[in-house]
Structure formats: C-alpha cells, structure tokens
Amino acid sequence: MLKQDYMAVSPDQPIYSEAPLQLLLFVDGRPKSRQQVQRLRGYLKELEAEYSFELEIIDVGQQPYLAEHFKLVATPALIKIHPEPQQTLAGSNIITQLKTWWPRWQATVDTFLKIQEDLQERIDETVRVTSPKSTIQSVAVSAELIKLSDEIFHLKQEKEKLQEQLQFKDRVIAMLAHDLRNPLTAAAIAIETLQSNFNSDMGVFLRLKPGMTVHLLKQARHQTRIIDRMIADLLQVGRGKDTELPITPQKVELGQLSLDILAELRDRYLAKSQTIDTDIPSDLPPVYADPERIRQVLVNLLDNAIKYTPAGGTISLAGLHRTTQKVQFSIGDTGPGIPQENRDRIFENHFRLQRDEATEGYGIGLCLCQRIVRAHYGQIWVDSAPNGGAWFHFTLPVYPL
C-alpha cells in the first residue's frame, strides 16, 4: 500500500499492516529535493501495481527525532525497516539504487514469508508468532521515546536551576535578615541618641560634645550606606550576568578613595587588632571609572579581607602604574587564602567555598566585582600571598590627559 500524503508517525495512531515489506521515505522542504521525491514516488507507484509493500513518508522538519533515530546524514532517504536487516538508500540516485536492490528485497520477503509459514506449522494453535521488531509502529514508539528522553533531560536541567535559585533565595533572605540587623541597630542607636539630646527650641544638642555629635552623625551615615550597599548588590546581581551594567566614568583618585573607605571601616579592623599596610605611590595616576561602582569593588574586597584575616593579621593595599593605559590595584590579607582549583570559580555568581558555608555572606560580592571591573574594560583575578592569605588584583584604565 503506497500512501500518497505526508503523514506524521505517531504511537497514538500506529500504522501497521500485514505487508511484509515496510519502507520509510524521509523528505525535506528543499525544491531540488521535492523534484527527486516526486520521481521516486512515481517509481514506487509503478511497483505498487505488482508488489505489496507499505510506505510511510516522513518530513524531517516536522519529526527530527526520527531522523536522529535512524542517524540520517542526508535527505531524501529511503529506508527498508522490514524484513531485517535494515537498509538505507540515500543520495541523488536513489531510483538507480532501488532498481538494484528491489529484487534482493523481494527475495528477502519471500524468505521471511517461508520462515513464517514453517514456524506457524510447528507451534501450537494458541501461540502466535511474535510481531517483527522493526515495524513502523515500533519506529514511532522509539522516536517518541527519544523525544521524551530529550524533554526529560531539559526538564531536569530546569528543575536543578530552579532549585538552585530557590536555595539561594532562602539563604539570602535568612542572611539579609541577620546582616541588616547590625547596621540597622547601630544606625538606630546613633539617631535615637542624637534625637533624645536635641533641643528643638534652642536648635542645639544638649549633653553632647561637638565631637560626639559629629561621630554619631558619621556613624548613622556609615551604617545607612552599608544597608544601601547590601540591597544594591543583591538587586544588581539578581538582574543576571547578561544584563548590561551601566557606568558613568569620570576622573577618580583610586588611592584616596581606598583610604576613605578604610576610614569608614576603621572600627571593624581595629576591633580585630588588624594592621593596615599601604603601598600607594604618590604619583599613581587617576583612573577613568565610575566612583560609586569602584567603591562597591573596594568595599567588597576590603570587607572580605577584614572578615577572613584573623585577629592581629595584616591587610595590604598596593597601587601600581602597570602601563601608560592601565593602573593595577591590589588588596591582600593574611587569611586562609583561596585554593588553586577554586580561583576561577570564586568569581561565579552564588559560588562559595565549602569552608565558608557556615559564615555570613551571599556568594555574590566577587561576582559583582568582576562585572563592575569588566564593565570598565579591566580584569580582576586572585593570587596567593607569599606569607599566606590571598591577593586580589584588578586593573582600570588611566584617566586620559
């Protein structure tokens, strides 16, 4: 039986007949291919008048899984799927090949029918011969299984990605609630102290010396900036790696900016009796960068250095005019350092070293630093310090004169 229309093979509507010779014709939409298929179908139509066979025409554009199942490398292709062994004819001379192979296929069919007849005579009437494995129905099932396995694979990937995002969200919520408490409390105490000692009628602070008033105002401002930075970092990283990071570059004195941030973090490193070692040349040229973005980089790197440097340790800041176009800035510590195998992954979003799972943090700081530095056409990397610990380096463009 020769089917005249393009049809999709589906296990929901299995196509199976008693025809011992079963063929699949794979076609595509190319005009040149269409002409060849028409000639081939015309030849098969002539054969149909004399021989019994079943033909299914399959468009590879609609059912690519079947093409994958048969490992086709070209179309059109004519495949004999039954009787076994399977055989594929492809190329521009399929009709010529078919004229050669058709008598052999018919001989195979005759042999198959004779075997079936002999077997049928030898078995009990209640036992039926097992259906041939290579049928159009079984091909449809195999193709559907390939398609389903592919879909299952992609669903597993999506599931793992969603689970990772949910775990990150839960961790961030828990850490954010914990980490915000400290700066919020500090800012609230400073503001409440100022408020309770302010006389609105006289416009002065009572029982507070001018130096203490200035200190409390700075403390409140510093803590609110910490809160703002934490929220900004989370929102920025939440946009994803592919989102463009906007920057507004201008002239920035990198050495002075780092010293200003160190002054803001003074209470933290003094509380751990840490020493600050600076090597910033006086002639270090200014860089062309977004000051707020570079502040985020410096705060993240210095915050990590203070966190991971033990009490009594040393934090180092160094500047270097590498080339006429690049300035390198480095921040080192005497903490545990970064293992060699993790030095590339440390900049991945949400990545945290196993040893740090129990410590506070989101695993987004270094990822954000990398995005900011790259937005400035710079580089960032990490090395081991000679005396233990880690050195984080990044480069920025020199401000054009």
CATH number reported for the structural domain that contains residue 326 in this entry: 3.30.565.10
Range of the domain at 162: 153-238
Residues 286 and 390 in one domain: yes
Of 99, 134, 169, the residue at which a domain comes to its end is 134
Residues 116 and 159 in one domain: no
CA atoms of 163 and 232, how far apart (whole Å): 24
Q: Is residue 329 part of a domain?
A: yes
**Residue type present at position 360:** E
Provide the domain count of the chain: 3
Print pLDDT tens along the chain (401 aa). 444 443 344 444 433 345 788 898 988 888 878 888 888 999 999 888 888 888 888 888 888 877 777 888 788 889 988 888 888 998 888 889 999 999 988 888 888 888 777 776 666 554 454 444 556 666 666 666 666 767 777 788 888 878 876 776 665 565 556 557 667 877 888 888 888 787 766 766 777 788 888 888 888 887 787 777 667 656 655 555 544 667 889 999 999 999 999 988 888 899 999 999 999 999 999 999 999 889 989 988 998 899 889 999 999 999 999 888 999 999 999 988 887 777 777 777 555 545 454 444 434 578 878 888 999 999 999 988 777 788 999 999 999 87
Residues 386 and 274 in one domain: yes
Residues 125 and 261 in one domain: no
Coil, helix or strand for 276? Answer: strand
Q: Is residue 40 part of a domain?
A: yes
Residues 299 and 390 in one domain: yes
Of 193, 215, 238, the residue at which a domain comes to its end is 238
- Token look-up 């002239």 returns 251
pLDDT of residue 358: 46
Residues 94 and 214 in one domain: no
pLDDT of residue 90: 87
Residues 70 and 125 in one domain: yes
Helix axes 291-308, 365-375, angle to 10 degrees: 150
Residues 204 and 254 in one domain: no
227-271 pLDDT per residue, tens: 776 676 566 555 555 446 678 899 999 999 999 999 888 888 999
199-229 pLDDT per residue, tens: 766 766 777 788 888 888 888 887 787 777 6
Q: Look at strands 390-397 and 326-332 and give their pairing.
A: antiparallel
Q: Is residue 140 part of a domain?
A: no
Residues 91 and 118 in one domain: yes
CA atoms of 72 and 88, how far apart (whole Å): 9
pLDDT of residue 298: 93
Residues 117 and 162 in one domain: no
Count of H-run helices and E-run strands, the chain: 9, 13
Backbone angle region of 244, left / alpha / beta, with phi > 0 → left and psi within -120 to 50 → alpha: beta
Q: Are 394 and 327 in contact (CB under 8 A)?
A: no
Residues 225 and 279 in one domain: no
CATH code (residue 167) = 1.10.287.130
Of 203, 238, 273, the residue at which a domain comes to its end is 238
Residues 182 and 109 in one domain: no
pLDDT of residue 173: 62
Q: Is residue 14 part of a domain?
A: no
**Measured torsion, CA atoms of residues 105, 108, 112, 115, in degrees rounded to the nearest 10:** 170
CA atoms of 380 and 372, how far apart (whole Å): 10
